[in-house]
Structure 1
């Protein structure tokens, strides 16, 4: 008997993808995709803040004018390169392009330094928990009633897009002159600082009022209540089992991981991420940190 989780997936160059969204031909086309100088790629491992950055950047380019983007679905604000390439090609420049692909599967021109990349990452325990819920509401993925099993599948890369560890390492170890790394935690704790950093990176100058509008209209509550950003109109999800946008919080992992699971994950993290010097926030500063990983 096959693994019900991996039976929902097919492999392309060693990475698992969902049959219902991706196909070999579309993934093969990515290599030769023509990247423009003003293209901005939003790259993420799933459930790391992709939707938030899509909304946020669309508002930055609209200079805070929500009326320009409110009624546009996230799929159209920043279409997915590996699943919607024809839509990407037709998108008005400057293009916002989303991708879950690891660095080595990105277009050759991007790997060679063309365009700009905003890479969003999130502490992997919160990513794992959010991914666990994603699997439970996605109709064509195996529901995960056993959290322990999913922890092991995540560690063993038997989930959509494969290894979080390899994905993140790939974006940090490969050189690209125009990559900005942003964490979900920094966006949560100090969106002002992230907004300033992103605008400088993109060469955008916004007024104080425009910046406030960007922050307000990309807040979790606003996104959660907008059907164009909360995915409530997407048929691939079973919303009787949950919502696409759940809590949007830092440290949710502590409500799911047992001490043993946390320690097991910490051991894997230390082994797989050694040398990168990543410094994640594992909990909000107002609360006492409980993660045993020492990040150096």
Structure 2
């Protein structure tokens, strides 16, 4: 494993974490975290749709009544297990909880099937591009020197939370009925269907009007313009270098990867994900504007 990739990160059980947000003592406590039956975890590799699912779930739990959550920051709607333990412990039930942790670092009770998990995953090329811009935006991660360098860091697991391949495989290989796998691409392509699947998974019954409200208030344009979800007031980001919510586009990677870079990444992907029954949508045609 060797030394951490840079001074901004430290290793915990082989996974790189950010000094400014995490510490070993807190991470050690997670193994024995008490999971409640009605806890709902949103688990993701970074830049895979976390914010989107946080907004969507918070709206589902208020039956689409946006007025009940509109003044609440996203990280207060579904606080981070590994970084905001006290906030999680003080939440009223049912608790919405966010986590970037790989499956093997999750609380023992969760791994054994307690609570419910919505795992959101995104095609890795778009994830990589979004993560690249995230590194440039944040004040607590090393800004990548160029895109090629970041591709290699991503492939070599020398980024926050480590290997995308191991992270996704670790979650996706778990077929326990308490885990629902949702892709970013499905959310982009058919949000109605995803909302209905999420509601069914959680045992929530929403009217068509409530579903429409959830869909509207979790749409990309609404989230992008809402300071409670776009993090525009959060001081750890340098907004002169970009925005937290960028494009929300499937296939954005095609504007960044060269043919050679794409082929190199494909080779690594197929080697790393062999035997896993997982198909991503890598691009979506542009939607025609409504008449």
TM over 0.5: yes
* Inter-CA distance 230–136: structure 2 relative to 1 (3 Å threshold): same
Distance 2:35 2:128 in 1: 31
Distance 1:260 1:245 in 2: 28
Distance 1:35 1:241 in 2: 39
Displacement of 1:209: 0.6
> What is the DSSP-based 3-state SS (H/G/I as helix, E as strand, rest coil) of the residue aligned with 1:228?
helix
Distance 1:37 1:275 in 2: 32
User: What is the TM-score of this pair, normalised by structure 2?
Assistant: 0.96
The equivalent of 2:76 in structure 1 is 76
What's the CA shift string for 1:136-168, capped at 9, x where partnerless?
011121112310000000000000000000000
The equivalent of 1:97 in structure 2 is 97
Displacement of 1:185: 0.2
Q: Which runs of 5+ in 1 are unaligned?
A: 288-296
The equivalent of 1:252 in structure 2 is 252
What's the CA shift string for 1:158-217, capped at 9, x where partnerless?
000000000000002234330000000000000111111111000000011100000000
The equivalent of 2:205 in structure 1 is 205
- The answer to whether the 8 Å contact 1:30/1:106 transfers is yes
What's the CA shift string for 1:85-106, capped at 9, x where partnerless?
1000111111100000000000
Equivalent positions of 1:173-184 (< 5 A) are 173-184=173-184
Displacement of 1:256: 0.2
What's the CA shift string for 1:206-252, capped at 9, x where partnerless?
01110000000001111111111101111111000101111011000
The equivalent of 2:29 in structure 1 is 29
Equivalent positions of 1:1-296 (< 5 A) are 6-285=6-285
Distance 1:177 1:19 in 2: 35
Q: CA RMSD in A?
A: 1.4
Distance 1:26 1:198 in 2: 30
- The answer to whether the 8 Å contact 1:137/1:238 transfers is yes
* Inter-CA distance 4–167: structure 2 relative to 1 (3 Å threshold): closer
- The answer to whether the 8 Å contact 2:4/2:11 transfers is no
> What is the DSSP-based 3-state SS (H/G/I as helix, E as strand, rest coil) of the residue aligned with 2:157?
coil
> What is the DSSP-based 3-state SS (H/G/I as helix, E as strand, rest coil) of the residue aligned with 2:117?
strand
Please list every run of at least 4 consecutive aligned residues from structure 1 whose deviation after the TM superposition is greater than 4 angstroms: 2-5
Displacement of 1:128: 0.0
Distance 1:263 1:83 in 2: 36
Displacement of 1:134: 0.2
- The answer to whether the 8 Å contact 1:5/1:142 transfers is no
Displacement of 1:25: 0.8
- The answer to whether the 8 Å contact 2:8/2:142 transfers is yes
- The answer to whether the 8 Å contact 1:48/1:127 transfers is yes
> What is the DSSP-based 3-state SS (H/G/I as helix, E as strand, rest coil) of the residue aligned with 2:98?
strand
Distance 1:144 1:172 in 2: 29
What's the CA shift string for 1:233-281, capped at 9, x where partnerless?
1111100010111101100000000000000000000000011121100
Q: How many pairs were matched up?
A: 286
* Inter-CA distance 140–3: structure 2 relative to 1 (3 Å threshold): farther
